[in-house]
A and B are shown apart, each in its own frame.
Chain A
């Protein structure tokens, strides 16, 4: 009986060990490449939402932590100060993740010096292709967030349209917008960074 159980257990354990070894090898090879690509994608997204900026400077960890605390549910993973050629502050870039249908939808938002939304873009998402991904492809959907004036509130964001059939995905964008308004109000303004 004992030997019979072992006869079954050993192949399973060996298979799992071999699989784990193979996967960790693959991970070791690909992880730096994936991280570099994520970084490049993030930089490209920041450039696209704040085309006038020359450099982006991450805010300190304490500020980021207080932003996260103010926002609550969404994930504020990075805040950048956008600087022009002379090192003058011209706006902010925010990387915010909100829960959609298939995990977090990571977005990058650009705010100008007055807190107006210059542009926004979706960095990564795992929404259902053809349904949830319409938050990216539907003409006019992301555009309606563009140009929200400085100091916009949750109420302003909730007035904007959602996409029927992609409610949870649209809600991720909406919550992302709300998070941005909260960060602007509670952190950037409070820190005296706003003109």
Chain B
């Protein structure tokens, strides 16, 4: 259980896919302009990541290493398509928000990266922990980034059709935050902040 927690927490902090491993950035920069889209993207990624990690870990002894990448891709693409069809059939409003980003989870390198780096070499329950940790770590940073971008870049936060937070009137939002250059700059600050946090906590452990 201890090891399970350790693996899960690594995804949130010292091995966070976005701020430390720096993978899956293209989808992040694109989706993080809206909190709503980011939230659902996070949930979809967590699902796909846990499922593909679990399945690949179960099959890891049967998959020859020479052909592992094609097999990983087929497994991941299948799960993503399942998510795509299910969202379309049962949650059309959410599908309308996410639209084009769902199929793009296939090429999100976090999922292939974790299959290759973790699930292929570890036990099933640890792979599930890794998938959950990485997925939640990804979602937290994504939603945080989206919150800052939408709140300061658009002046309000909208969730499920309702405005839940609004800047005072007269606030002129800097549009650069909504565009990719602004996302890059902001992301740089977030990375610096998280690294500072991580370093501080490891320093304390050593001392």
Contact = CB atoms under 8 A, between A and B. Distances in A.
Contacts of A12: 67, 70-71, 74
What does DSSP make chain B's interface, helix, strand, loop or mixed?
helix
Given A23-B82, A129-B100, A15 B90 contact: no
Interface stretch (A30-38, A49-57, A59-67, A174-182): A30-38
B192 to A, nearest CB: 25
B145 to A, nearest CB: 14
A22 interface: yes
Interface bracket on A: 20 to 34
Contacts of A15: 71, 74-75
Interface stretch (B12-20, B31-39, B42-50, B159-167): B31-39
B178 A23 contact: no
B24 interface: no
A127 B99 CA distance: 8
Interface string B80-92: 0110011011101
Nearest to A32: B89
A23 B178 CA distance: 36
A19 B82 CA distance: 10
Interface in A1-55: 7-8, 11-12, 15-16, 19, 22-23, 26-27, 29-30, 33-34, 37, 41
Given A12-B71, A15-B75, A37 B33 contact: no
Contacts, number: 65
B64 interface: yes
Interface residues of B, number: 29
A168 B204 CA distance: 54
A26 B78 CA distance: 10
A129 B95 CA distance: 12
A12 B74 CA distance: 9
A8 B99 CA distance: 36
Contacts of A8: 64, 66-67
A11 B66 CA distance: 11
A26 B86 contact: yes
A132 to B, nearest CB: 9
Contacts of A11: 62-64, 67, 71
B30 A129 contact: yes
B64 A37 contact: no
Given A126-B99, A129-B101, A30 B71 contact: no
A155 to B, nearest CB: 33
A183 to B, nearest CB: 27
A44 B22 CA distance: 44
Given A30-B89, A126-B99, A129-B101, A22 B82 contact: yes
Interface string B58-77: 00001110110011001101
Contacts of A126: 99-100
> Which residue of B30, B75, B82, B100 has the most chain A CB atoms within 10 A of its CB atom?
B100
Contacts of B97: 129
Given A22-B82, A26-B82, A130 B178 contact: yes
A102 B74 CA distance: 23
Contact of A30 (B31, B85, B100): B85
Interface of B: 30-31, 33-34, 37, 62-64, 66-67, 70-71, 74-75, 77-78, 81-82, 85-86, 88-90, 92, 97, 99-101, 178
17 contacts: A8-B66, A12-B70, A15-B74, A16-B74, A19-B74, A19-B77, A22-B82, A23-B81, A26-B81, A26-B86, A30-B89, A34-B88, A37-B88, A37-B92, A129-B37, A129-B99, A130-B33
